[in-house]
Structure 1
């Protein structure tokens, strides 16, 4: 029998990912809620083919969009997923065991590790693993918090446990996809720095990328993932270098505009 769970998803043009996601939870939950922000492909049709309740909502940012979806859920528990994620068979079995063993009566949430597929392999080290996420939680005790682009579940009381099994993540189907996201995250990072009144620092601009590489590749053993591990460490460092450099550019442009 389906569990007292609402699967909560936000979507936009995710036809290529959504079927895989929903297939991994098929028959698991009593309800699937999809909040779509205007897909032009077959995303809505895919969602409806799995029996999802689809609602349109203009894009509000990840955090606020997910809170809209959360507000539409009716079951006691919520399993929040992104379209490019899926439950591994082991994780699904342990979600079922969570309820069968009565752990839903003892805890208000459950976390599990997220594992990324990149360059033809699962990434098992470095900054990308284990990427522990709280995604199964009691609806009335949780909300999405954080910044608009880096959201997380804030659980009242933080009474949680951890489940074995990985949440599979297919976030970067290609190198191009990763590179495309660098500028978008840099834009948001710059705005946060401006809002906080921070000034550019050469030391930070140089040290942070170096530290990100060293932490990912050496301390967190990214080297054990072969060339993909090296690429991720270098790309992460470069992304940090771009983000912090944007504040320098912003200050130079501000001086020029005042002349």
Structure 2
């Protein structure tokens, strides 16, 4: 089994990610010309490091999968780690030869400024990351919020993929604004359009669904802040789409 990771300036996080993948037969790291020690740390840990200019999240991950030496691949981001429970589940399936499945999904548990979020829109956040590349992969054309898919049965494994998505609130806000622009541009190119009702209701619904209906309030103030920031992401994306369809620029 091969592990595939894409990186850019992840020197502070790549070591822990790689340590959690020690059970894999090989680790492939596709690095987008980092200016820190990411490549050196990865190589020292035994990973095969390839430099490649970044041309989109989906494309970069698809390239990583294509470089793997094994058909079964486990795809992670540098801010993710395989938990002991998930490791046990993966190894059990591997020992059985991954029977009757084209891929496996599992829950992603995100740390948010000192607390793991176990409710709301943050959890269980199931992702398909372990799959037979002969039967699928990072397909489609959308480069943002990319997702793998396979032709065949997808099973759910116990255990969590541990996620450390944000170094600071400022970094989160900057990241969500960039993603909002990319999503708005993608939606616009696909012919999607915003309405005045969406401008008002979409952010409110995202907050209500996550914080109230999905019990985000049980995560304390961390859940409240997370729900607000995610609602703001929807607001930014919808406003940017509105601007684009009215011929206005969204960035200078």
TM-score by length of 1: 0.91
RMSD over aligned Cα, in angstroms? Answer: 1.6
Query: What residue number does 1:236 align with?
Result: 230
Spell out, residue by residue over 1:10-51, the C-alpha distance to the aligned partner (whole angstroms, 9 max, x if none). 11111111000001111x111111111101111111111121
- Alpha-carbon contact 2:93-2:99 (below 8 Å) kept: no
The total of aligned residue pairs comes to 248
Q: Is 2:205 aligned against 1:218?
A: no
Counterpart for residue 24 of structure 1: 20
Q: Which runs of 5+ in 2 are unaligned?
A: none
| Structure 2 residue corresponding to 1:176, chosen from 165, 170, 173 | 170
- Structure 1 residue aligned with 2:9: 13
The correspondence for 2:94, drawn from 96, 99, 102, is 99
Q: Residues 254 and 29 from structure 1, CA distance in 2 versus in 1: closer, same or farther, beyond 3 angstroms?
A: closer
Matches of 1:224 and 1:78, distance apart in 2: 35
Tell me which stretches of 4 or more aligned residues in structure 1 moved more than 4 Å. 251-255
Larger radius of gyration: 1
CA distance in 2 between partners of 1:221 and 1:19 (Å):
34
DSSP-derived class of the 1:145 partner: coil
2:58 aligned with 1:63, yes or no?
Answer: yes
Q: Would the alpha carbon gap of residues 32 and 193 (structure 1) be closer, same or farther in structure 2, given more than 3 Å must change?
A: closer
Q: Point out the more displaced range, 183-192 or 61-70.
A: 183-192
Question: Take 1:227 and 1:11, find their aligned partners in 2: how far apart are those partners?
Answer: 31
CA contact (8 A) 2:188 2:244 kept: no
TM-score by length of 2: 0.93
Q: Which residue matches 1:40?
A: 35
Q: Name the structure where helix makes up a greater proportion of residues.
A: 1
